[in-house]
Amino acid sequence: MKNKTERFPFSATKTRGSLPYLPITLSYQNNSAELSGILDTGASVNVLPYKVGKELGAVWENQAVKLSLTGNLAQFEACAIIVSAEIGQFSPVDLAFAWTRNENIPVILGQVNFFLEFDVCFFASEMFFEINRKKKRQ
């Protein structure tokens, strides 16, 4: 399917106003979860909460690559996991996540590798954002 720009509205939250949450379907080992991930240009990596990884069928003890997170997540163990992501009409893309033991965070879409795969333009004053899949270099 030909990629084009897709527009998404900001989502209202109870405590923080409206934020850029992106509807996304994550798939791993024949399991999938429909959820929303927050677009965070300040996050170095994508982050997956523990309960979402478990819902996808991932087994913590089977993950070989351990990671160290910083900031608010520094106290939690994390490991690398690759999942397939479907967003709107775009073709599926593999996203690398730091799967953390933290249960109380949203799915975070950060620089590695969400923003390496998609261009995003925020129109905060108008309460929407647009995404487009980056073109592959020849």
39 residue type, one letter: L
Q: Supply the pLDDT for residue 2.
A: 55
Count of domains forming the chain:
1
The answer to whether residue 78 is domain-embedded is: yes
DSSP class of 128: E
**Residue spans of the chain under pLDDT 70:** 1-3, 137-138
Beta bridge partners of 80: 98
d(CA 119, CA 71): 25
Q: Supply the pLDDT for residue 1.
A: 45
| Range of the structural domain that residue 85 is part of | 6-11+20-132
User: Considering the entire predicted model, what is its pTM?
Assistant: 0.92
d(CA 72, CA 80): 18
The answer to whether residue 121 is domain-embedded is: yes
DSSP calls for 27-42: EETTEEEEEEEEE-TT
CATH code, domain carrying 67: 2.40.70.10
- The beta-carbon contacts of 123-128 under 8 Å, at least 24 apart in sequence, are 124/10, 127/9, 127/10, 127/18, 128/7, 128/8, 128/9, 128/10
CA-based nearest residue to 49, from 114, 104, 115: 104
The answer to whether residue 104 is domain-embedded is: yes
The answer to whether residue 138 is domain-embedded is: no
